[in-house]
């Protein structure tokens, strides 16, 4: 009997910005899913440092957090032998393709991006052009690798929709060039809300440290932060339209334990918010303990992380270079070296 040829794996690309220590929002919304998908896809995971400078960064902090973010990826379960892990600024093709895509993206489209509107309100003294064109850089990240799937949290779906529009537009003008990617969000944890204000997304750049739980917070801090999470009036552990605090905590509890919201409500019937918040804290801390231990081991060896960066950069450039070459030829740039 003839062996079936192994089907070519589809490609994934995703990324996180090293603009702060990653939170359980980043973990539940994105990184945990990346780890679940890594066996079935050819995966490129990037530390998006070019994106991070759309907001002013302290250079030494940005550099340190780039290493830390890479270590967090691995500590969260991404196998560096099976995935291509790399740093965005080390692959210049991202910035090159972003410029080209800028010329195929409308001002109106970028003006409608929610993240641009939010961030320009938050950083009113620095509404720079990079903040505005951020989504075309993100489109370049994705399209360079001909990614089929982009696993992200809910907040990034609008950017992926725009990426699809840009890819389709380019393909319509020049013929098939880019794979049009699909966004992919998890069933639970796609939008983890702030613990201090559950009507707002949990964000690593929130100045109030009680608003977020970092992937690296020690156990007692995790438990304490959940204990002081803002809840709603009433005392029943039950979801409701006017209960953003409890809805958020139930979602986090379910994401960490694999239970359904109905199960969670039943489990805490007759119990108060205090008991429930303690249980959510314990569940989160149990999941984060091994990640923190592995992270400490990895960051102790900077040489290892640097070797991985180098390896990731080479693999990323091989793939990205091919796409960029094709795009440049189609657009009409004179090229003297073939790919």
Which positions lie near ligand TYM, rule CB under 6 A? Answer: 13-17, 25-26, 28-30, 48, 51, 138, 141-142, 150, 152-153, 155-156, 189-192, 201-202
Which lies closer to ligand TYM via its Cβ, residue 77 or residue 329?
77
Which candidate in 117, 187, 201, 313 is catalytic?
201
Which lies closer to ligand TYM via its Cβ, residue 123 or residue 191?
191
Here the tokens at position 125 are: 């003294």
Which lies closer to ligand TYM via its Cβ, residue 114 or residue 234?
114
- In the complex, least distance from residue 3 CB atom to ligand TYM, rounded to whole angstroms: 35
Residues facing 84 on adjacent strands: 44
- In the complex, least distance from residue 205 CB atom to ligand TYM, rounded to whole angstroms: 8
- In the complex, least distance from residue 78 CB atom to ligand TYM, rounded to whole angstroms: 13
Measured distance CA(214)–CA(158) in Å, rounded: 25
- In the complex, least distance from residue 195 CB atom to ligand TYM, rounded to whole angstroms: 11
Measured distance CA(196)–CA(213) in Å, rounded: 11
- DSSP, collapsed to helix, strand or coil, labels residue 47 as strand
- In the complex, least distance from residue 4 CB atom to ligand TYM, rounded to whole angstroms: 32
41-47/10-16 β-pairing: parallel
Give the chain's end-to-end CA distance (angstroms, integer). Answer: 38
- In the complex, least distance from residue 192 CB atom to ligand TYM, rounded to whole angstroms: 4
Which lies closer to ligand TYM via its Cβ, residue 193 or residue 305?
193
Contact 17, 104 (CB under 8 A): no
Which lies closer to ligand TYM via its Cβ, residue 159 or residue 307?
159
310 counts as catalytic: no
The one-character DSSP state at 198 is T
- In the complex, least distance from residue 253 CB atom to ligand TYM, rounded to whole angstroms: 15
Measured distance CA(18)–CA(215) in Å, rounded: 13
187 counts as catalytic: no
Count Cα neighbours of 198 within 13 Å in the Cβ-side half-sphere: 19
Measured distance CA(180)–CA(162) in Å, rounded: 11
- Tell me which residue has its CB nearest to ligand TYM: 29
Q: What strand order describes the sheet that includes 149-151? A: 84-87, 41-47, 10-16, 149-151, 182-184
Which lies closer to ligand TYM via its Cβ, residue 72 or residue 279?
72
Residues facing 42 on adjacent strands: 11
Which candidate in 9, 82, 200, 204 is catalytic?
204
In sequence order, which residues have a C-beta less than 8 Å from that of residue 82 and are 6 or more positions away? 38, 39, 43
Measured distance CA(66)–CA(21) in Å, rounded: 10
Which candidate in 9, 82, 119, 122 is catalytic?
119
Measured distance CA(288)–CA(285) in Å, rounded: 5
In sequence order, which residues have a C-beta less than 8 Å from that of residue 154 and are 6 or more positions away? 29, 185, 190, 191
Contact 202, 25 (CB under 8 A): yes
Which lies closer to ligand TYM via its Cβ, residue 141 or residue 292?
141
10 counts as catalytic: no
Give the residue numbers marked as catalytic: 119, 201, 204
């Amino acid at each position: 009997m003839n062996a079936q040829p192994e089907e070519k794996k589809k490609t994934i690309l995703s990324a996180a910005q090293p603009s702060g220590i990653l939170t359980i929002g980043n973990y539940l919304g994105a990184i945990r899913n990346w780890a679940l998908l890594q066996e079935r896809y050819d995966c490129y995971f990037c530390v998006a440092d070019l994106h991070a400078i759309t907001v002013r960064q302290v250079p030494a902090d940005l550099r340190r957090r780039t290493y830390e973010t890479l270590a967090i990826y691995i500590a969260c379960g991404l196998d560096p032998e099976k995935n291509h892990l790399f740093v965005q600024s080390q692959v210049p093709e991202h910035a090159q393709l972003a410029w080209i895509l800028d010329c195929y993206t409308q001002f109106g489209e970028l003006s409608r991006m929610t993240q641009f509107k939010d961030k320009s309100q938050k950083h009113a003294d620095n509404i720079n052009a990079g903040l505005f064109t951020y989504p075309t850089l993100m489109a370049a990240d994705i399209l360079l690798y001909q990614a089929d799937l982009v696993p992200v949290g809910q907040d990034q779906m609008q950017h992926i929709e725009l990426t699809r529009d840009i890819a389709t537009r380019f393909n319509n003008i020049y013929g098939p060039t880019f794979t049009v990617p699909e966004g992919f969000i998890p069933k639970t944890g796609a939008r983890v809300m702030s613990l201090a204000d559950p009507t707002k997304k949990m964000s690593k750049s929130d100045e109030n440290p009680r608003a977020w739980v970092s992937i690296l917070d020690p156990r007692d801090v995790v438990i304490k932060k959940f204990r002081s999470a803002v809840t709603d009036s009433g005392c029943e552990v039950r979801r409701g339209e006017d209960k953003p605090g409890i809805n958020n905590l139930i979602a986090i509890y379910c994401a960490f334990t694999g239970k359904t919201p109905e199960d969670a409500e039943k489990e805490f019937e007759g119990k108060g918010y205090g008991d429930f918040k303690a249980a959510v804290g314990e569940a989160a801390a149990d999941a984060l303990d091994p990640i923190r231990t592995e992270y400490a081991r990895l960051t102790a060896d900077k040489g290892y992380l640097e070797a991985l960066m180098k390896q990731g950069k080479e693999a990323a450039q091989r793939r990205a270079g091919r796409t960029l070459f094709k795009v440049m030829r189609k657009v009409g740039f004179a090229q003297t070296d073939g790919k």
